[in-house]
């Protein structure tokens, strides 16, 4: 039975859609992961590979997902099921990814809230590494902060598409951007920032190992919110009078700009104060507080920085929750209230486990990883690239590029100058590139 699409909700404007989609993309992936991955994988060389993958694979899949979403007006699972029953599982893997990512995303979101409160109280006294290690490994405090973060997420999703998600994104995204620019200016004008800039901008290709390429690919999927039906879901709330091809260019552009700016905010400051760029996941929580402590007006910059990270994280966590909610709302007629709070409770079980895996349960390892790292690895490195690969195969060879292009141009109403490029990318380049990296990671193909 066809449903009235308005009962699902709709974006009030195209700008609102762009802010929400960019809000989904810009998140902990840009601010927390990207700078430390760049720091660990050779700086400039990693950045260059990342950019190439965004242009050739990221844009391609972004546009494909948006087209599937708007064509069907349905959630990730419903959309694939409507177009081809055989691909329903791809939607299911997507919704599952939403659950799993939120499982650890809530935990990091909680850490960020704790850091805001710490900085409002004047900063971290004592050794930041000891503070961070002690905090994340304790049993209750991080779980309570994660709860605060997931309640904030649920409140926004509960208010619906235009009244909740769109409104929050339209306020938080511009605010985030302004704060980030202020911090970048502070960072690059610090005495000694030059060493960080040259590390970040000069590619050292000897550092470009297969592992670095796998990391860059996974990072593109994670950072652009691709491969799990997020852009299908958001695209399903967009009306037919908007130019999809333009939107699919703007969103990756904004996301990449923020990732690059995050590097400019963090790496020069890290070098200026003589810290290690390859500090890994602790870069933002251990190294940066030390940087802020050694900086004039550092407390203020610390508060501003972690508030901006919180805004970025929330506009992403709401999209993850929405992917799951849209499914039960469309397919099982759940009310938004039941969907939002019911699913949040289920997800919170995963959140508790991943928070505890940093401390009391750290000895519980699956394939050598604790629960938190397992969720991160399973989603960013396996489920999202697999979802993206299947989407390319689906559009290229099942649904058909012509039908997708027809949706994108609305039967020729909108120009689609990149049609030739996109067709080659979606049919050949993107699936082959993702496939090769995938086989390498599984150890089937060595390079
Ligand atoms: N893109 C988000 C980030 O960079 C994470 C995310 C992944 C959100 C997948 C939605 C879907 O943090």
Write out pLDDT tens, residues 128-170: 889 999 999 999 999 999 999 999 999 999 999 999 999 999 9
What does the pLDDT read at residue 447? Answer: 66
Can you read off the two tokens belonging to residue 127?
A: 């050794």
Mean pLDDT taken over the chain = 93
Cα(368) to ligand 1 centroid in Å equals 24
Dihedral pair phi/psi, residue 366, rounded to 5° = -120, 135
Q: Using most ligand atoms within 8 A of CB, pick from 20, 37, 101 the residue to mutate for ligand 1.
A: 101
Q: How far apart are CA 222 and CA 382, in angstroms?
A: 11
Three-state secondary structure call for residue 42: coil
DSSP string, 153-206: HHHHHHT-IIIIIIHHHHHHHHHHHHHHHHHHHHHHTSTTHHHHHHHHHSB-GG
Cα(222) to ligand 1 centroid in Å equals 5
State yes or no: pLDDT of 360 exceeds 60. Answer: yes
Instruction: Give nearest CA residue, ligand 1 atom 6.
Output: 225
Q: Using most ligand atoms within 8 A of CB, pick from 50, 75, 225 the residue to mutate for ligand 1.
A: 225
Q: Among 177, 300, 249, 220, which Cα is nearest to 415's? A: 249
Q: Among 52, 8, 61, which Cα is nearest to 386's? A: 61
CB 24 less than 6 A from any atom of ligand 1: yes
Whether this prediction's pTM lies above 0.85 is answered by yes
Q: Among 67, 31, 1, 23, which Cα is nearest to 426's? A: 67
Length of the chain as a residue count: 447
Write out pLDDT tens, residues 186-218: 889 999 999 989 988 888 888 888 888 888 998
Q: Among 270, 206, 184, 188, which Cα is nearest to 41's? A: 206
CB 99 less than 6 A from any atom of ligand 1: no
Write out pLDDT tens, residues 154-165: 999 999 999 999
What does the pLDDT read at residue 2? Answer: 39
Instruction: Give nearest CA residue, ligand 1 atom 7.
Output: 225
Can you read off the two tokens belonging to residue 69?
A: 């979403």
């Amino acid at each position: 039975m066809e449903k009235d699409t308005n009962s699902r909700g709709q974006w009030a404007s195209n700008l609102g859609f762009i802010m929400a989609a960019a809000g989904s993309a810009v998140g902990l992936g840009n601010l927390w992961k990207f700078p430390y991955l760049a720091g660990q994988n050779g700086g400039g060389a990693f950045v260059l590979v990342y950019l190439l993958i965004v242009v050739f694979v990221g844009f391609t899949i972004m546009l494909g997902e948006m087209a599937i979403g708007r064509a069907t007006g349905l959630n990730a699972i419903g959309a694939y099921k409507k177009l081809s029953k055989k691909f329903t599982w791809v939607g299911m893997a997507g919704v599952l990814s939403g659950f799993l990512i939120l499982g650890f995303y809530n935990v990091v979101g909680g850490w960020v809230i704790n850091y805001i409160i710490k900085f409002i109280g004047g900063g971290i006294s004592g050794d930041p590494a000891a503070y961070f290690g002690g905090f994340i490994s304790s049993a209750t405090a991080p779980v309570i902060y994660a709860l605060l973060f997931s309640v904030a997420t649920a409140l926004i999703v509960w208010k619906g598409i235009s009244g909740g998600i769109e409104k929050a994104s339209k306020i938080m995204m511009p605010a985030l951007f302004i704060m980030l620019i202020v911090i970048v200016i502070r960072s690059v004008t610090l005495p000694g920032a030059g060493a960080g800039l040259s590390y970040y901008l000069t590619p050292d290709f000897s550092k470009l190992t297969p592992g670095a390429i796998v990391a860059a690919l996974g990072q593109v999927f994670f950072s652009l919110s691709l491969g799990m039906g997020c852009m299908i879901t958001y695209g399903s709330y967009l009306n037919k009078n908007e130019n999809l091809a333009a939107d699919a260019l703007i969103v990756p552009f904004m996301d990449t700009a923020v990732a690059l700016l995050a590097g400019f905010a963090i790496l020069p400051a890290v070098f200026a104060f003589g810290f290690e760029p390859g500090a890994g996941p602790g870069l933002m929580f251990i190294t940066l507080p030390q940087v802020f402590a050694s900086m004039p007006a550092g407390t203020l910059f610390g508060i501003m920085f972690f508030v901006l990270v919180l805004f970025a994280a929330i506009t992403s966590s709401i999209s993850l929750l929405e992917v799951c909610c849209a499914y039960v709302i469309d397919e099982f007629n759940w009310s938004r209230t039941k969907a939002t709070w019911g699913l949040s409770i289920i997800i919170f079980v995963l959140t508790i486990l991943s928070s505890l895996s940093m401390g009391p349960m750290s000895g519980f390892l699956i394939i050598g990883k604790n629960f938190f790292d397992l969720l991160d690895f399973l989603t960013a490195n396996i489920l999202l690239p697999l979802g993206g690969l299947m989407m390319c195969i689906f559009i290229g060879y099942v649904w058909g590029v012509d039908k997708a292009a027809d949706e994108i141009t609305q039967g020729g109403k909108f120009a689609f100058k990149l049609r030739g490029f996109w067709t080659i990318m979606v049919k050949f380049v993107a699936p082959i590139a993702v496939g090769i990296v995938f086989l390498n990671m599984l150890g089937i193909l060595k390079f």
